[in-house]
Each structure stands twice: as C-alpha cells, then as structure tokens.
C-alpha cells in the first residue's frame, strides 16, 4: 500500500510540474470541455480532458502490469 501511495504522489508532483507545458499543448481547453462564464461566475468542467487523462493513466498502468 505504501508503494502505491508513493508512486501516486510522484506522478501527481510530475503532473504539477508539467502542467504549464500541458496547458500550452491545449490540454484543459479541448472540444467537449464545458466552460460557462457569467457575470461574477465561472463554471469549468473538463469532460474531454478528464477522459483523455484517464485513458493515458489506464494505458500506463496496463503497460506496467505486464
């Protein structure tokens, strides 16, 4: 269990450090991401980005399990 927590922590730190680069690539602003802006209110729900990140993480975990 501790090994998994450390691995997840390292992955989260790496994603945090790479986030500016990922933002330049358009991640977080893909078609399908919901962004509603009203006066004094902004709602953002990255559906497409979440699906893409989930697929990448699933692929990485699948490769490491083999």
pTM: 0.62
Report the run of H or E that residue 66 belongs to, with start and end: none
Instruction: State the chain's mean pLDDT as an integer.
Output: 87
SS (H, E, C) 1-61: CHHHHHHHHHHHHHHHHHHHHHHHCCCCCCCCCEEEEECCEEEEECHHHHHHHHHHHHHHH
Annotated domain spans of the chain: 2-65
Please give the angle made by the CA atoms of 46, 62 and 54, to the nearest 5 degrees. Answer: 5
Could you report the per-residue pLDDT of 21-48, keeping only the tens digit for each? 877 877 778 888 998 999 999 998 889 9
Handedness of CA 6, 7, 12, 15 (dihedral sign): positive
């Amino acid at each position: 269990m501790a090994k998994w927590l450390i691995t997840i922590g390292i992955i989260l730190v790496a994603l945090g450090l790479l986030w500016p680069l990922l933002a330049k690539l358009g991640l977080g602003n893909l078609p399908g991401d919901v962004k509603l802006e009203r006066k004094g209110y902004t709602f953002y729900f990255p559906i497409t980005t979440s699906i893409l990140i989930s697929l990448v993480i699933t692929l990485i975990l699948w490769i490491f399990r083999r």
